[in-house]
Amino acid sequence: MPDRQRIGLVIVAAGSGIRAAAGANGVPKQYADVGGKPLVAWTIGAFSDAGHDFLVQPVISAGHGQFIGADSFPGALPPVAGGATRQQSVLNGLEALQAHDPKFILVHDAVRPFVEPDLIARVVGALDDDAPAVVPVVRPVDTLRRADASGLGEIVSRDETAACQTPQGFRFADLLAAHRRAADAGLHDFTDDAAVMAWAGHALTAVEGAAGNTKVTLPGDLALARLQLAGAMKGKSMETRTGTGFDVHRFAAGRELWLCGVKVPHELGLSGHSDADVGLHALTDALLGALADGDIGQHFPPSDPQWKDARSDRFLADAAHRVARRGGRIVNVDVTLLCEAPRIGPHRDSMRAAIAAILGIDAARVGVKATTTEGLGFAGRREGIAAQAVATIEVPSEETAS
Ligand code: MG
């Protein structure tokens, strides 16, 4: 059905993320969790803030189905699979949109989440019958040199260069025709759509880009994305919550002793289904308690064989992920180990560092301490180790404004 009043928007999410290696878990950067939702959902959200009714067509990599959830492409048409190159992926998105026959189309990279409404407005505003191809450009700020054998050839004048960003805007029929012609001519490696249009003989119209409209390409960029997009949530009022956790494990021979994410040399380990890290278990429960989201035994039942001998850091990482998914952050955590032996002091800082790394927070926000029980009780009789923990988090307030 024709939908000419709406502007089409192809979101190119088919990149493999090889350069980003977004997370240790191999999630492609466009689906990496940023403040509780996928990066690409932030990108699409930026367009819904721009005051136009976009018809959003995501193009994905056929192999990424496992990373895509109900929250990946808010308000969008069902995604279509991309091709071997960016150019082929865009063509697949355009073919899918053809049934809607929009008059104008924007093409935008999924991994440019920082696009601002005024940039989108500049591109849309410049599109008309005389300007079938609109490209936002920024002047490079770095000194540019040609790369020669030494890597440092002659200087290229910055006045002679321009970096092309997305979103690029086009008359839909012209862009689809240009893409089809290029594909028919056996050309598949144009790196943006302006290049396809220029090849097809159309004039390009430049509008001012935005220095902040960067592509998330490297792991460090993803950290930056988290920071900047967390700023977008600042308007929400946050509430502070606290949770506590407590756990006990019995000493056992022939087991490694894991405490607060660190392997501690000792003649005895702790018995348990997982690695029995009593400190991380107490801390996991403290975070789950702060969220009022069950407990460790509910999320990782000891009856489930997949958690046998599991490293407890994944239980704690799961709890931290639950905080992030609520749009929250961990303020601080504190663990107390109760035992006569081993001595904890020598390992305290490596335990703090291990917990900080699992939670993705600064070690200055992690306390680890230990006490004996003066020979009293099971800990005093050296039968096992107990741990208690407290966690303080901030989450967006669920109260509705009155
Ligand atoms: Mg336990």
Q: What is the pLDDT of residues 261-320, one digit of tens each?
A: 999 999 999 999 899 999 999 999 999 999 999 999 999 888 888 888 888 998 998 898
Q: What distance in angstroms lies between residue 68's CA and the mean position of ligand 1's atoms?
A: 33
Q: What distance in angstroms lies between residue 271's CA and the mean position of ligand 1's atoms?
A: 9
Element at 384 (helix H, strand E): strand 384-396
Q: What is the pLDDT along the chain (402 residues), one digit of tens a residue?
A: 445 678 999 999 997 655 444 444 678 889 988 877 889 998 998 898 787 889 999 999 988 988 998 889 988 999 999 999 999 999 999 999 999 999 999 999 999 998 988 899 999 999 998 899 999 999 887 888 888 888 788 888 888 899 999 999 999 999 999 999 999 999 999 999 999 999 999 999 999 998 889 888 777 777 777 767 766 665 667 889 999 999 999 999 999 999 999 999 999 999 998 999 999 999 999 999 999 999 999 998 888 888 888 889 989 988 988 887 777 889 999 999 999 999 999 999 999 999 998 887 888 999 999 999 999 999 999 999 999 999 999 988 764 333
**313 token code pair:** 């850091």
Q: Name the pTM for this structure.
A: 0.59
Is 13 in contact with 60 (CB distance < 8 Å)? yes
Rounded to 5 degrees, φ, ψ at 81 are -80, 145
Q: What distance in angstroms lies between residue 281's CA and the mean position of ligand 1's atoms?
A: 5
Q: What distance in angstroms lies between residue 351's CA and the mean position of ligand 1's atoms?
A: 17
Measured distance CA(3)–CA(101) in Å, rounded: 6
Is 389 in contact with 282 (CB distance < 8 Å)? yes
For 21-71, the pLDDT digits (tens) are 444 467 888 998 887 788 999 899 889 878 788 999 999 998 898 899 888
Measured distance CA(91)–CA(96) in Å, rounded: 9
Residue 57 three-state SS: strand
Measured distance CA(325)–CA(287) in Å, rounded: 13
List the one residue out of 307, 252, 325, 312 whose CA is nearest residue 282.
312
Q: What distance in angstroms lies between residue 295's CA and the mean position of ligand 1's atoms?
A: 11
Measured distance CA(338)–CA(277) in Å, rounded: 13
**pLDDT at residue 400, as a whole number:** 39
Pairing label, strands 269-270, 238-252: antiparallel
**pLDDT at residue 4, as a whole number:** 61
82: CB partners within 8 A, 6+ apart: 12, 13, 14, 59, 60, 61, 62, 88, 89, 92, 93
**138 token code pair:** 């920024």
Residue 130 is given by DSSP the state: T
Q: What distance in angstroms lies between residue 323's CA and the mean position of ligand 1's atoms?
A: 21
What single-letter amino acid sits at 180? R
